[in-house]
Amino acid sequence: MLYENVYTMNGKMVTDYVVRILCRHIIMFGAVLIAVGLGMMIYVGGFQPLFFSVVFSGICCGIILPLIINGRYKQAFASSGNSKKDQTRIRFRDRNITMDNPQGHMNITYDQIERIRKTKYFYVLDTKNKSSLLVYKDGFVKGNPDSFYDFIKAIVPKEK
């Protein structure tokens, strides 16, 4: 085994995942709607119901919806507890990656990884089947985050 990563999700980790990974496009779309609505108000020089509805849609999409999703995810992880059975354990072996968590078991090969993203708490490994593997930066029980990042970047050169 080359690397091993173990963690239990907490509130800060959930928010990092929801905002930076799960809702990233929703938040950007909301920001665009707000900018377009405000731009239309400035260009026309006054308040119009259509402009207000565009801004309101942007607020709902870019702020309120991510807050709701974040709250639901936090509830789900809070109800699962903080015991050893709730841990996620990821093992990076010579030929494959295995992940065990409360939701089940996953086994993938390195050629299934499409890209690597970094957040405050995680390295996010996106796979070709549109799932993501969250590797907690402070969760290495074998290896360390810096050498892991160099290792995985050499395998998957695309980074976003």
pLDDT tens column, 45-54: 877 888 889 9
Count of beta carbons in the 10 Å neighbourhood of residue 49? 7
68 pLDDT exceeds 90? yes
**What pLDDT does residue 85 have?**
59
Compute the chain's Rg from CA coordinates: 20
**What pLDDT does residue 74 have?**
84
132: confidence class by pLDDT, cuts 50, 70, 90: confident
Q: What are phi and psi of 44, to 5 degrees?
A: -80, -25
Whether the CB-CB separation of 22 and 134 falls below 8 Å is answered with: no
Fold of 3-8+83-155: PH-domain like (2.30.29)
**What is the number of residues in the chain?**
160
**Helix, coil or strand: residue 58:** helix
Pairing, β 96-101 against β 104-109? antiparallel
**pTM score, whole prediction:** 0.76
When pLDDT is averaged across residues 91-108 and rounded to a whole number, the result is 91
